[in-house]
């Protein structure tokens, strides 16, 4: 079964097999598969989430090639660098005609992913005899750093590491955008249903990404002490990465998990607060459909033609935004709840990055340190240090 996702010229196409397996490819306007792109994307069939991301990054680049009248044999490294500049990277050259004027520039993570996609795509083309010179320019190496040696198998014997001339230079991240002071009671008062109360509470108390929350199944929730999974004594939830969710929601972290005897084990185990449990039972008792929810997912549409179907991440974000506007707090997003939660965990743990990493489900402490490792401008010790400096200056 094929479902069209983007109306336009060249587009990304979702392909579902009879077994429910999902994959992604790129097709021409008339529906024919873009052979070079399809051959490249097939390398990532075992990771549909990655394949989908790479497909959207690649299709935008292929559309740009069409507009610029560039072929795979005529495109050169300077063209790729210019394209990186057009979508958000800082490059020292004139960029020419704008691109993606109706969309935001890519962020740093997206630019890094795009650089990786472009390099690997053109290297694969070069291996088939197309754009050989461009492939040679992209196939460069660099000296390994200490971090490279530490995380690589037999890293102490490595003399070189792959490099990418398209990768933008990464600067330090800005402070995360936090929720305004006192936002919690205002948001909880502004929502209209028990489901919305639960969503806001779980975002605030659980530090969940919106994809993790919308991807939860009822079997993932172990809300009583001493659950059968044996992985936590107190109430908790298992955040499991699933590619086949009907609403397309998926957890970012891919911890291994399984279901045995109807009991979920593994995944990212998240502690659940008493408020989270209370709002869950309110929602399940008063609003969760008694029939028509065979999919077993936690969040469902409560009304309309799609009633009973799994709730999407965009629906949760829209609800959260409406609640914020009703309170006069302005434009807020669900992910800001995660920023507040992580900062609170770091403060409570005395700045212990390992605790924050494990509680939030990050792969390393480096991300936590980079994003949240900033001094609190309202911290008493920081205030005292400033006053001492100011006193010396005055």
What CATH number has the domain bearing residue 253?
A: 1.10.443
Q: Are residues 15 and 38 in the same domain?
A: yes
At 196 the pLDDT is 97
What is the pLDDT confidence band of residue 77, given thresholds at 50, 70 and 90? very high
For residue 106, which of 84, 80, 88 has the smallest C-alpha distance?
A: 88
- By residue range, what is the domain housing residue 89? 2-163
For the segment 324-351, the average pLDDT, to the nearest whole number, is 89
Q: Are residues 304 and 350 in the same domain?
A: no
Report how many domains make up the chain. 3
Asked whether residue 380 is assigned to any structural domain, the reply reads yes
- In terms of phi and psi (left: phi > 0; alpha: psi -120 to 50; beta: otherwise), the region of 351 is left
Residue 165 CA to residue 90 CA, distance in Å, equals: 13
Asked whether residue 178 is assigned to any structural domain, the reply reads no
Q: Is the pLDDT of residue 83 over 50?
A: yes
Q: Are residues 154 and 15 in the same domain?
A: yes
CA distances to 216, 301, 308 from 311, rounded to whole Å, are 11, 5, 9
Asked whether residue 123 is assigned to any structural domain, the reply reads yes
Asked whether residue 172 is assigned to any structural domain, the reply reads no
At 125 the pLDDT is 96
Asked whether residue 103 is assigned to any structural domain, the reply reads yes
Contact partners, residue 226, CB within 8 Å, separation at least 6: 233
Beta-ladder partners of 202: none
Percent of the chain with pLDDT over 90: 58
Q: Is the pLDDT of residue 265 over 70?
A: yes
Q: Are residues 57 and 201 in the same domain?
A: no
Question: 18 or 241: which carries more pLDDT confidence?
Answer: 241
Residue 388, token pair as written in the block = 């001492």
Q: Are residues 320 and 199 in the same domain?
A: yes
Q: Are residues 319 and 226 in the same domain?
A: yes
Q: Are residues 361 and 318 in the same domain?
A: no
At 103, phi and psi to the nearest 5? -130, 160
Q: Are residues 283 and 358 in the same domain?
A: no
What DSSP letter does each residue of 198-231 carry, written as one string?
A: HHHHHHHHH---HHHHHT-BGGGEE-SSS-TT-S
Domain boundary among 318, 338, 358: 338
Q: Are residues 128 and 225 in the same domain?
A: no
Q: Are residues 284 and 363 in the same domain?
A: no
Question: 162 or 253: which carries more pLDDT confidence?
Answer: 253
């Amino acid at each position: 079964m094929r479902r069209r996702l983007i109306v336009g010229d060249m587009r990304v196409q979702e392909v579902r097999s009879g077994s429910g397996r999902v994959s992604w490819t790129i097709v021409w306007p008339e529906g024919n598969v873009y052979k070079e792109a399809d051959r490249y994307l097939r390398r990532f069939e075992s990771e549909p989430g990655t394949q989908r991301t790479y497909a959207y990054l690649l299709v935008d680049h292929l559309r740009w090639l069409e507009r610029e009248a560039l072929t795979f044999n005529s495109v050169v490294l300077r063209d790729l660098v210019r394209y990186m500049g057009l979508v958000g990277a800082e490059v020292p050259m004139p960029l020419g005609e704008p691109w993606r004027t109706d969309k935001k520039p890519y962020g740093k993570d997206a630019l890094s992913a795009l650089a990786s996609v472009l390099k690997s795509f053109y290297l694969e083309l070069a291996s088939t005899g197309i754009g050989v010179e461009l492939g040679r320019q992209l196939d460069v190496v660099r000296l390994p750093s200490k971090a490279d040696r530490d995380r690589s198998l037999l890293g102490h014997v490595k003399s070189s590491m792959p490099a990418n001339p398209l990768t933008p230079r990464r600067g330090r991240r800005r402070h995360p955008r936090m929720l305004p002071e006192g936002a919690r009671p205002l948001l909880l008062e502004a929502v209209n249903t028990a489901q919305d109360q639960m969503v806001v509470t779980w975002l605030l108390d659980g530090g969940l990404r919106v994809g993790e929350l919308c991807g939860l199944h009822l079997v993932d929730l172990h809300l009583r002490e001493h659950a059968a999974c044996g992985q936590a004594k107190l109430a908790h939830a298992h955040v499991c990465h699933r590619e086949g969710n009907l609403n397309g929601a998926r957890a970012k972290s891919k911890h291994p998990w399984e279901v045995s005897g109807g009991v979920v084990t593994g995944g990212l185990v998240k502690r659940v607060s008493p408020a989270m449990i209370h709002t869950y039972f309110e929602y399940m008792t008063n609003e969760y459909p008694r029939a028509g929810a065979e999919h077993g997912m936690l969040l469902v549409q409560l009304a309309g033609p799609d009633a009973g179907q799994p709730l999407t991440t965009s629906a949760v974000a829209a609800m959260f935004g409406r609640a914020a506007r009703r309170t006069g707090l302005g434009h807020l997003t669900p992910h800001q709840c995660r920023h507040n939660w992580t900062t609170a965990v770091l403060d409570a743990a005395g700045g212990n990055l390992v605790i924050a990493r494990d509680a939030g489900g990050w792969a390393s402490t480096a991300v936590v340190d980079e994003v949240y490792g900033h001094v609190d401008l309202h911290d008493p010790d920081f205030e005292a240090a400033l006053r001492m400096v100011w006193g010396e200056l005055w």
